[in-house]
Amino acid sequence: QLATAYDNSGDPEKAIEIYTKALEKYPFDYLLYYNLGVTYSNQNEFEKSVECFQNAIINNPFHSTSHLSLGKLMARQGLLTKAIISLEIFLELEPESERSNIVLVYLNELADNHIDTAWGEPIVPFTDNEIFSEVDHFIKSGIALKDNFKTGIKFKASIVNQTVLLFRSLPFDTKSEDFWVKMYFPFLKAVKEGDFIKPYIFTLLSSSGHETVVKYNKRKKKDLAKFY
């Protein structure tokens, strides 16, 4: 609280000092990492911010806001695969809150290769993206948005098509130590192998309020329960 007060009063250096000291005493406190990440982000120290959000997620994978914050910073770098994964995990954890639909709309624009600057102007990429460069190329090419791309899901939205493409294209067998590989791949691989892609996607779409989504979520409660 003290660090946040310093940050809000215009003294981020003091806030960072206090957060850092607190983390020496409480090294597994995910909220300390998250708040420190916010302070760094506000100071445009994005590399440190990303590291903090990742540490917050490592210490609490269910902290949806850390996934959201990480996804925003990836989107601002134009790293579409990493951005989409983090933002989708946010929506899996928080499918129907007050902010969910805003994120869903933002995510769908990303799937259309449009990065909304409402959450910040583009920044020069600093995050290594070698493992996902090919998948990014597939997303940017728009191949999944063509009429002949079949998803097997009766809902028309760019994010649906691009998500199906992701599950077909992600290098699940890689031995990379990349954060997205280590943190997200076990879950995403289990979704694919467990035949849970439809429940995954319709959970993403929950905040749309669309009739098709509402009907699916009512009709497929057993499938959704297995997925959850």
Three-class HEC string of 154-177 = CCCCHHHHHHHHHHHHCCCCCCCC
pLDDT at 118: 83
Please report the sign of the dihedral spanned by the C-alpha atoms of residue 9, residue 6, residue 77, residue 82: negative
pLDDT at 115: 84
Q: What is the mean pLDDT of residues 40-66?
A: 98
Does residue 195 surpass a pLDDT of 90? yes
Which pLDDT tens digit goes with each residue over 72-89?
Answer: 999 999 999 999 999 999
- In this structure, the dihedral spanned by the alpha carbons of residues 162, 114, 138 and 175, taken in order and rounded to 10 degrees, is -80
Quote the mean pLDDT of the chain.
Answer: 96
pTM score over 0.85: yes
Which pLDDT tens digit goes with each residue over 210-219?
Answer: 999 999 999 9
pLDDT at 119: 85
- What is the percent of the chain where pLDDT is above 90? 96
Contact call for residues 129 and 136 (beta carbons, < 8 A)? yes
Which pLDDT tens digit goes with each residue over 79-131?
Answer: 999 999 999 999 999 999 999 999 999 999 999 999 888 888 999 999 999 99
Q: Which residues contact 27 (CB under 8 A, 6 or more apart)?
A: none
The secondary structure of 190-219 as a DSSP string is HHHHTT-HHHHHHHHTGGG--HHHHHHHHH
